[in-house]
Amino acid sequence: MNKQPLRCRVQVILPIERPYDYLLPYGSDGIQVELEPGQVVMVPVGRRILPGVVWDGVADENVPLKKLKEIAEVSEVPTLREELRKFVEWVANYTLSPQGSVLKMALSVPQALENLVGQKLYRLVTDNPKEEGDADTGKPRLTSARQKVIDVITDSGGWTLADLAREAGVSSSVVKGLEKLGLIESYFDAPDFSFSVPKPDAVGPVLSPDQKAASDDLVSRVQDQAFSTVVLDGVTGSGKTEVYFEAIEAAIKEGRQALVLLPEIALSSQWLDRFKKRFGVAPAEWHSDLTPALRRKTWRAVAAGKAPVVVGARSALMLPYRDLGLIIVDEEHEGSFKQEDGVYYHARDMAVVRAKGCSCPIVLASATPALETMVNVQNGRYERLILPGRHGGAGMPDVELIDLRFDKPERLQSGPGWLSQALRGAIRQTLEAGEQAMLFLNRRGYAPLTLCRTCGHRLQCPHCTAWLVEHRRFRRLQCHHCGFSASLPENCPSCEAEDSLVPCGPGVERIVEEAKLLFPEANVALMASDTMTSPAATKAMVDRIQNREVNLLVGTQVVAKGYHFPFLTLVGVVDADLGLFGGDLRAAERTFQLLHQVAGRAGRAEHKGRVLLQTSDPKHPVMQTLKEGDRDKFLEIEAETRARGHLPPFGRLAAVIVSGPDESELDNFCASLARSIPQIDGAQILGPAPAPLALLRGKFRRRFLIMSKRTIAPQGIARSWLAQLKAPSRIKVIVDIDPYSFL
DNA sequence: AGCACGCCGACT
DNA sequence: GTCGGCGTGCTC
């Protein structure tokens, strides 16, 4: 009998659509070892060895035997469950991404797969006996290579020699040298991967009747171990977190795992503190800046079912849970759940799919649910639990509109002003009453545009279709899209005129300047993403505000997220109209959500808050409904507008972004794409249009838009249309299903 | 994603 | 005459 060697399919973590075939490995007895789907393996690909997963289905006997390579190693990590394999396939199909790219997110960390018995890891020596300052006692010189290692290793440790050297960009001998000097030390990784089990019996908070009703509902869903989607709808301060903590406790008691997805910025120490207070221990965290060792530890603990609760950013959705019993998506309306590099997926929507696969409930929590979420409530796909009122007494703040067409901000000696009389008066009152005020403007830097008074030249980014933003604190110009930075020129780069460049429009730095001028006695502070460079810096700032060392705070949208400032009673929005421009289909919705959230910062304790919105369009539905405090009316108006335009969630969208370094080649290819646009009933394809940033990071961009009825999936349309033409190799075609930002 | 193979400018 | 730039294409 002519016995053929046995083969199996392996999906490797390359941007490849389907699994490749491999020979099963030979054991020491010369007999091939059987493997089951889900086993993690290392396989040769080209001249490299890469991680992959034994996939479902049978190998293709038509692949010639001599092409096949043998599986190099079988990893000891737990088998990836069928649930996760199906999820990977589903996400790849939905997003039109290669299956291997999606799988890569699930394996996420090649280091997790290494067998790490006796792994040697490095950390900083914390109690360094050597004092700073004694100059010539042979203190080791911190060469730049050594400094890089110190910078990378920080205080958390947990680096392997190779990881550390690679990350710092130095050779491993530098690391070993530092060890010899006693600045860093090595130790062996603990063989135990479990996280502490939260203490479900720790006494929870006393819940209000409304909270109790909601939490009872969630708890019984968790106990039923069945899929359902529940929107937890309640204003800031209504106690959503306490409610879903009860559901987490229920999942732990069921012996299953719970996942909490938070928008990146909300993963604050404040959230973790609340969790620790409630459960006595910290949850497992998952986000982009874990050390490799902690990543490995967490990944393995999750897979082994030894991490009962995981809290993380969107990528935590792809982890290999052993038995997921509950998913929470907090601030579900946040746009940052949509990933827009590599695989374009919306973590909230994919989380619903994963919950279905895990037969567990998913909770979408928000004070301002997304329109698509509310439409799903109305059509019965999602259920809703409402938490009425503000927990702890204070009512919602009064919202007033300031019509900038009539209350024009006066000029200051130094230039134009941005604060109206009404807003100035309110700030003065607040400060005199010994309370805190905040000015909100969602624009970093000093001025969003700099132009030449003589020739009209505008300072633009050389790589993007965007103005350069002046950051006066650094005396530099920055591009907020690609990070380009240049020093502020003295003369106009176009006409050479001296002293002719003028800043146009306000950024937060400019508001700080105005605030200091108008209220010289106030303690003004700035809070923006670029002033909060580290968790420590952020905490210091939050402490200063909570200790009332600051009484006039100026901030961008970072101030809207998750901080509690009990003495803040006035919020002034410098430019409420700002987010409404730009042709983004969600512009009105996002503006409403952001301003609603900012408004919620005012008056948390015993004082009622006051919110002033400066607007040039006070009749706009966003402004009117904010003033009336009528969120549902806003959603109603917005739903009508979208329905009329057949826009999401009443129709479907896919953006096709075509980009390349050569503009005429790009236009040629777009023209042939346009010529081959198919005729489809219930769908249309628009374009090509210059993408909103027609030039981004030195690449030209064009965009097509596929719009279809709800009942028709744009994926199929995109697939068949784009399959007709092969893009020249320098041109990249990206399909973004359910696009969010229109950049 | 890497990594090799392949075709055009500055070096011994 | 070669060394090497990175454009292009494949990986079972």
Among A137-146, A222-231, A339-348, A698-707, the range scoring the smallest mean pLDDT is A137-146
Domain with CATH 3.40.1440.60 in chain A: 7-107
Of the two residues A557 and A231, the one the predictor is more confident about is A231
Kindly tell me if the per-residue pLDDT of A191 is higher than 70.
no
Instruction: State the average pLDDT for chain A.
Output: 88
Structure confidence at residue A132 (pLDDT): 39
Measured in angstroms, what separates residue A348's CA from nucleotide C11's C1'? Answer: 34
A7: nearest nucleotide, CA–C1' criterion: C12
- Between CA A105 and CA A600 the distance in angstroms is 36
Exposure class string for A187-215: b at 16+ Cβ within 10 A, else e = eebeeebebeebebeeeeeebbebbeebb
Q: Give per-residue pLDDT as tens, A297-344.
A: 899 899 999 999 999 999 999 999 999 999 999 999 999 999 888 899
Q: How confident is the model at residue A601 (pLDDT cuts 50, 70, 90)?
A: confident
Structure confidence at residue A642 (pLDDT): 95
Is A358 one of the annotated binding-site residues?
no
Strand boundaries in A404-531, DSSP class E: 436-440, 449-452, 469-471, 476-478, 485-487, 501-504, 524-527
Kindly tell me if the per-residue pLDDT of A394 is higher than 60.
no
Kindly tell me if the per-residue pLDDT of A139 is higher than 90.
no
Question: A712 beta carbon < 7 A from strand B?
Answer: no
Q: Give per-residue pLDDT as tens, A279-300.
A: 999 999 998 888 877 888 899 8
Domain with CATH 1.10.10.10 in chain A: 119-126+140-189
Question: A20 beta carbon < 7 A from strand C?
Answer: yes
Among A175-179, A415-419, A467-471, the range scoring the smallest mean pLDDT is A175-179
Measured in angstroms, what separates residue A564's CA from nucleotide B5's C1'? Answer: 60
Assigned CATH class of A209-392: alpha beta
Is A464 one of the annotated binding-site residues?
yes
A window 45-84: Cβ near strand C (< 7 A): 45-46, 60, 63, 67-69
Cα dihedral value A310, A314, A320, A321, nearest 10: 40
Measured in angstroms, what separates residue A662's CA from nucleotide B8's C1'? Answer: 21
Amino acid at A521: E
Name the protein residue, with chain letter, whose CA is nearest the C1' of C10.
Answer: A46
Measured in angstroms, what separates residue A661's CA from nucleotide C7's C1'? Answer: 13
Question: A47 beta carbon < 7 A from strand B?
Answer: yes
Q: Which nucleotides of B are covered by protein (CB under 7 A)?
A: 1-4
Kindly tell me if the per-residue pLDDT of A638 is higher than 70.
yes
A15: nearest nucleotide, CA–C1' criterion: B1
- Between CA A140 and CA A136 the distance in angstroms is 10
- Between CA A144 and CA A170 the distance in angstroms is 10
Is the pTM of the predicted complex or chain greater than 0.85? yes
Is A8 one of the annotated binding-site residues?
no
Region A119-126+140-189: CATH code: 1.10.10.10
- Between CA A700 and CA A722 the distance in angstroms is 19
Domain with CATH 3.30.70.600 in chain A: 651-737
Q: How confident is the model at residue A172 (pLDDT cuts 50, 70, 90)?
A: confident
Compute the average pLDDT of residues A59-78.
Answer: 89
Structure confidence at residue A119 (pLDDT): 57
Measured in angstroms, what separates residue A384's CA from nucleotide B4's C1'? Answer: 57
- Between CA A631 and CA A464 the distance in angstroms is 37
A16: nearest nucleotide, CA–C1' criterion: C11
Kindly tell me if the per-residue pLDDT of A98 is higher than 90.
yes
> What's the CATH superfamily of A651-737?
Ribosomal protein S10 (3.30.70.600)
Measured in angstroms, what separates residue A668's CA from nucleotide C8's C1'? Answer: 20
CB A597 within 8 A of CB A555: no
Structure confidence at residue A133 (pLDDT): 37
A118: phi > 0 → left, psi -120 to 50 → alpha, else beta; which? Answer: left
Region A394-443+506-640: CATH code: 3.40.50.300
Kindly tell me if the per-residue pLDDT of A734 is higher than 80.
yes
A window 22-41: Cβ near strand C (< 7 A): 22
Kindly tell me if the per-residue pLDDT of A60 is higher than 60.
yes
Domain with CATH 3.40.50.300 in chain A: 209-392, 394-443+506-640
Q: Give per-residue pLDDT as tens, A424-447.
A: 999 999 999 999 999 999 999 999
Kindly tell me if the per-residue pLDDT of A194 is higher than 50.
yes
Question: A48 beta carbon < 7 A from strand B?
Answer: yes
Calculate the alpha carbon distances from A534 to A284, A286, A528, A537, A556 in Å: 21, 18, 12, 5, 17
Structure confidence at residue A188 (pLDDT): 60
Compute the average pLDDT of residues A65-80.
Answer: 91
Kindly tell me if the per-residue pLDDT of A151 is higher than 90.
no
Measured in angstroms, what separates residue A48's CA from nucleotide B4's C1'? Answer: 12
Structure confidence at residue A390 (pLDDT): 60
Q: Is the Cα dihedral A199, A201, A204, A209 positive or negative?
A: positive
Assigned CATH class of A7-107: alpha beta
Cis preceding linkage at A649, omega within 30: yes
Tokens of A139: 């203190």
